[in-house]
Each structure stands twice: as structure tokens, then as C-alpha cells.
Amino acid sequence: MRVLHFRFFLFLFFLSVLCGSSFAVDRTAFTFTHYDLEIRIDPEGHAIAARGKVRLRNDSHAAQRNLTLQISSSLTWRLIELNGKALPYVAAPYTTDIDHTGAVTEAVVTLPSAVPPKGTLELDLGYAGEIAPDTTRLTRIGVPAETAAHSDWDQVAEPVTAVRGIGYVAWYPVSLPAASLSDNSLFAALDDWKRSQHDTNMRVNLCWVGESELTTVANGRAEGVSRHAMGAGEEAATAMGCSVYSFAPVATTVPAFALAEYTALTRSDTNVYHLPPQAPAAQEYALAAEKVLPFATEWFGAPRTKIQVVQLPNIGDLPFESGPILFTPLELTDRNAIQLRMVHQLVHASFNSPRPWIEEGLAHFAQALERERQGGRAAALAYMQTLLPALQAAEAGATRAAPGLINSTDEVMYRVKAMYVWWMLRDMVGDAALQQAFKKYHPLDDKDTAYMPRLIEQAAKRDLEWFFDDWLYRDRGLPEFRVDSVFPRTTLNGTYVVTVTIANDGDSAAEVPVFVRAEGGERTRRMLVKGKSKAVDRVEVPTTPNEAVVNDGSVPESNMNNNAMAVAPK
């Protein structure tokens, strides 16, 4: 079947080349301004069939005679019409990693007349095919098959159907230039796409057909549910149910849905959609959310929506989060780990920001705070350090022209770096000042980048411009600390004064803890060390000093292995 399809596409491709039809179309010319789709999902047959309308606007500066429509390469175009008339098009596979299959089925449509700049049109579309597990885009760049399967888990299947949108599965039509995971162009391409679709709305009627009642969950706004038996001529046992969801704007949410014979465990702040055998695990998730709720509320305010936990079928599948919704396998793992997951989603249910470094950064910061509640500061720092290598690699590869964290759309930056930035701020200004800034924050007032930094400075009554400059407004990379020298001196009353010089070979300034360890214990100082500079402080210890250490892991730096120096015996 696959082979046949491929030959068919190949045939069309050569045909179009022979006919001299031009493929030099501008894939970014049209903005998809509105989707109105009905997706019929047949889990038993692993299939979907879609019908609907898409509105497009020519946002290029030239009149366009052609447009491109891309859907997953496992789907086939059935219908492309304008004003009730079929449009001529050529469909061919187009290699790109926006879809798990590593390709899309691209229709190059010829319009009856050129659409001028800002001109709009509404197309009637139909397409169908299978959405089966596919790891092509990952395995072809060398990701081991099992890891790939746990990452690209999207499929229409029994007992659980779970499918994410663009970036995973093109189950709705899009149009983007080819993007690849191997050269990192995928994330930039997805960013550009989201930016271009910033006022795009989508309304989807998600309908299942099958023999038993299924529950649909999606990360949009639910607008209604209907259920009815199929009409005459259909098998009596076949039923159909539909749920309408709207997504506005699509840019901030990758539309995703799941359907299964879910049971909903409903609590005041949480719904856990699970299969009956996972009822005990579902209980754990609901309990974990209840347990961390008071702490999350103290920091980030009360939740304004419920968090939704949606079960994925396979243990080991990577969780996917979208605002307060978490798609995850339900495992009875240790309670602490479940609480970390739930606190992240609770922050999303309570605190929103249009800026990723705030929106996601705070959710990750809350996980570090929760880890501290569970096991103390050392446990929190160890938890953050599991994420540090990703940040070190990203900073090493970043160009200095990269945007500062405040505008970054790089996931490692707005998750990991932002988590550290919040942690450092907390170490500098304290819990009360940060919490006060969060209470004053309103996402609608966040119109300039300095809004949140200003709230923090006001609450802390402290000038932090040097910090925001190096960590938020510019990407100056990470600091790189070492102990430059340690000199102990005996005092008249028998104690020691140790003169410690800390060097920062990196470009970012930070306030970093410095420890002088002695036989009878240790003393700590916080030292502000600017980029490419040294700072000196004197620390008094009661007994013979042994060593000086810079950074307990609370400040991310490029090399943590050169941070201690022994005190030479006198």
C-alpha cells in the first residue's frame, strides 16, 4: 500500500516536472487565519477523516497564483475546493520534520486567479488516512528506536488515541518551508510559524466512531459534547460522539487531543482521565496535586482553572504538557516525583504570562522549590544540576547575537536557564519579595520587557540592573568561577582570617556563595563577581581552615569541576 502510494506520488511529481509546472511557490505567503474542521476518528482502524474550511490571507507583498497545503505524509488529500469548485492541485511528499513521519503530503494548489496582497480566500478541504506510530524523523538522525517511540508516541489506536499538532503530527493543514531536526532548523521554523499564526483561531469537532463510549480531552476550550447512534445502514452497535473544542489563538497552544474509554477521577482542582486499571495511580496524582496546592498557592496564587491529567498508554512515554494539561503515562512511581509533576501544572493553572521565561521558568522554579521542601536545599540544587548539562551545551553553541532570555523561544533557555534565574533571584531578594512581585504581576500589563524586572526591584528595594542586564536582556553565556587564591592569617585571639579571591572567567556577573571550610565547621559569604573580573573577601573561621569553595550549584556556570582550593598549611 505504502509502496503504491509512493509510486503514485513519484508519478505525479515527474508529470508536473514534465508539464513545466513551477514548484517555486512561496510557502509562507499565506497566513491560516481560521480553521473550522470536523475530524472523524476511528481508533480501531487507526484512521482519521477530516472535512472543513480554512481561511487564508495573502500576507506576502506579491500576488499569489499558487498556495501550498501540507498534512502528515500518512494522510491523503481528498478534496480541495473554492466556492464549490474543485481546484487543480499536485500532491507530492515533501521531506520535513514538522511531522513524526519526517514528511508531509503537500498539495500545490493552482488558484483560478492571483490573490493580491492582503486578499483572502476560504477553501473547503477533505483529507484522510492513518495516524500510526512513526519514528522516522528521529531514527533517521540516529535516535535509538525505543527512545524515539517514547518521544513520538502520537497515534490513533485502541485503547488510547493521543495526537499532538504541528511539530508532532500535521493533522490539520499548514504550510512551512522544510525544517530539519538534524540542523536544529525545526524549532526556529516552528517559532516562525507560531509567530505568523498569532491571531489564528481553530474550531474542531472531534468525533469518534466505535462500539463503545469514548471520552475526548483536548487542550482547547470545550464548547459542547454530543453523542448519537449512527444513522440507518450503519451497524447497529456503532456509535459516534463529538466534542467541539476551540483554540484561540493557535499560536500559544499546539492543539492536541486524546480519546479513550477514560474514567475521570474528579477532585476540586484536578481531573485525572485514566483507564480503569490505573485507578490507584490516578489517585496518587490527584493526592499529589492536593498536597502541593497550599505551597503553590502561597507562591503563585490560587489556581484559576483545573489541572487535567490525561493518561498516555505506554509506561516510559515522555510526558507532554500544554498549560494546565499534562499528557502522561500513569505510573505508581515515588510520591515525590509525582508531586514535582503536579506542582508544575498547578503553576500553569495559577500564573500566566505571555513570556516563556516567566510562564515556563516559574513552573520549573516551582519544581526546584518543591524538591527543596521534600529534601532540603542540597536536594533542590542536585535536582537543578540534572538539567545543567543541557544549558551548558546550549550556551556553548549559542551565538552572542542570540536574543536575551527575556525574548528567547529556545526551550532550554526559557525552561532551564529561567529556572536558575528565578532561583538566583530568590537567593538574592528572598521569598517574600518575589512572592510580592508575583502578586502584583498581571499578564495584560506585561507590555514591555522591563515590567517583571521592575516589579522585582520594587519589591526587593534593590537595584538589580546588573543582573537583569547579563541574564535577561542579553545572552552573555554562563559565568565560570574558580578560587584564584586563599590566604589564611592568624589573629591575636587565635582565630583565622582567610582572604579569598574569586575569579569569574565568564561574561555574566553573579552573586555566588563562597564557603571557607575549617575543622570546626564552615563559614559562608555571598560575593558579587562581575564577568571577566575578580572579587576579594575576608572570612573569619575559629579553627584551622582547610579549603575554600565557590558556588554550591545555585549559580549555573560552564565548569563546576574547578571550584575548590585547599588552604596551604602555614
Using CB under 5 A, list all residues that contact Zn ion: 321, 360, 363
Contacts of 152 (CB under 8 A, 6+ apart): 100, 133, 134, 135, 137, 138, 168
The rounded distance, in Å, linking the Cα atoms of 322 and 310 is 11
Min separation Cβ 242 and Zn ion, Å: 29
Min separation Cβ 11 and Zn ion, Å: 45
**Residue among 89 and 423 whose Cβ is closer to Zn ion:** 423
**Residue among 323 and 513 whose Cβ is closer to Zn ion:** 323
Min separation Cβ 222 and Zn ion, Å: 21
What residue is closest to Zn ion based on CB?
363
Angle at CA of residue 418, ends 414 and 422, nearest 5° = 155
The rounded distance, in Å, linking the Cα atoms of 295 and 435 is 12
Q: Is the dihedral angle over the CA atoms 418, 423, 424, 428 positive or is it negative?
A: positive
Min separation Cβ 102 and Zn ion, Å: 27
Cell numbers that stand for 446 in this block:
506585561
The phi, psi pair for 368, rounded to 5°, reads -65, -40
Min separation Cβ 443 and Zn ion, Å: 15
Contacts of 376 (CB under 8 A, 6+ apart): none
The rounded distance, in Å, linking the Cα atoms of 237 and 143 is 43
Determine the angle formed by the axes of helices 418-429 and 431-440, rounding to 10 degrees.
120
Residue in 369, 372, 368 with CA at minimum distance from that of residue 386: 368
**Residue among 122 and 321 whose Cβ is closer to Zn ion:** 321
**Residue among 202 and 419 whose Cβ is closer to Zn ion:** 419
**Residue among 321 and 505 whose Cβ is closer to Zn ion:** 321
The rounded distance, in Å, linking the Cα atoms of 535 and 501 is 6
DSSP one-letter code for 23: -
Cell numbers that stand for 443 in this block:
499578564
**Residue among 25 and 421 whose Cβ is closer to Zn ion:** 421
Min separation Cβ 144 and Zn ion, Å: 26
Min separation Cβ 396 and Zn ion, Å: 25
**Residue among 90 and 363 whose Cβ is closer to Zn ion:** 363
Min separation Cβ 363 and Zn ion, Å: 4
Cell numbers that stand for 405 in this block:
532570555
The rounded distance, in Å, linking the Cα atoms of 170 and 166 is 5
**Residue among 214 and 307 whose Cβ is closer to Zn ion:** 307
